[in-house]
Amino acid sequence: MTFSEKVKNELASIENKKECCWKAQAYGMLLFGKNCSEEAISLHTVNKKIADLYADLLVSLTGCIASVTEVGQETKEEKALYIVEIDDPDDRREVLRFFGCGTSTKHFEESIIERDCCLHTFLRGAFLSCASITDPNKEYHLEFVIGDANLAALLCDLLNKIGLSSGSTVRKSSRIVYLKESENIEDLLTFMGAVKSSLELMNIKILKDVRNKVNRVTNCETANIEKTVAASSMQVKSIEWIMTHKGLDYLPEELKTVAQLRLENPELSLSELCEISGLGLSRSGMNHRLKKIIEIADHLKIKM
């Protein structure tokens, strides 16, 4: 089950305590469904629970019968589509009258969401009808796919009203209202009542942050190890060249001691060499002496 499906199942399972909230939720589903006019009232969804919920709400609130039709999948990968429709023209007019829609969605009945509790359930209904969330393990993206420009503008205003920063764009013939920031998505899920899903999103975000931090530290440590190995290899090659052509006694005593230390411990970092040397050298002091040995080797190579 996808994260988006989990969210919708959680939202569709919430029991509203007040009739006004049920009405607001049904209103959100009605306006943001596939069709909302005298010619057609319908909602398309791949979630059977949402289809049954919408049909039940229309019957219980308005007394109008809504049919639920299952359209079979063509391949195993595709999910069945459930279409909720009000077939009778008189019933469609009654539903529109009940919600104060007139003959189109251009008129928005603000009185239905005057109470804060009803705004919560209205947005829940809108989400159930036309929204989805990308897997948060991949990216943070929630979007509403809306067929009407007025409704898209209305939704943006409502999201801004509750302090959520939304964006909008056009995709083919639909308007897309979206949220990108994880905090905004978490806040909207909580606002609509999907508390469990919001907490799951937070946990996913924490795990991703920890994973990314571990990866950064690991990458940094790997880079440091590779750098240490490369530097040590160059130092050992220079020391061995001097040993072969001049002998270690050619080096001043302070450099000879460091050279022997490096030959015996090629895997150690500069800091670790300082710790075991007993010379009281700082990291920069050890690095300076090893660089001096490399310079001597390079100078001898030129002369020879």
Q: What is the pLDDT of residues 100-149, one digit of tens each?
A: 886 555 678 899 999 999 999 999 999 999 999 999 999 999 999 998 89
Share of the chain above pLDDT 90, in %: 59
Helix 48-62 to helix 116-130 angle (10° resolution) is 130
pTM over 0.85: no
Q: What is the DSSP letter of 179?
A: E
Q: For residue 177, what are the contacts with CB-CB under 8 A and spacing of at least 6? A: 143, 144, 146, 152, 155, 156, 159, 166, 167, 168
pLDDT in tens, 186-230: 999 999 999 999 999 999 988 888 888 888 888 887 888 888 888
The answer on pLDDT for 75 being more than 60 is: no
Q: How far apart are alpha carbons 304 and 300 in whole angstroms?
A: 6
Q: Tokens 């050298």 — which residue?
A: 281
Give the start-to-end residue ranges of the domains of the chain.
3-193, 210-303
CATH of 3-193, one of 3.10.28.10, 3.30.1280.10, 3.30.2400.10, 3.20.20.70: 3.10.28.10
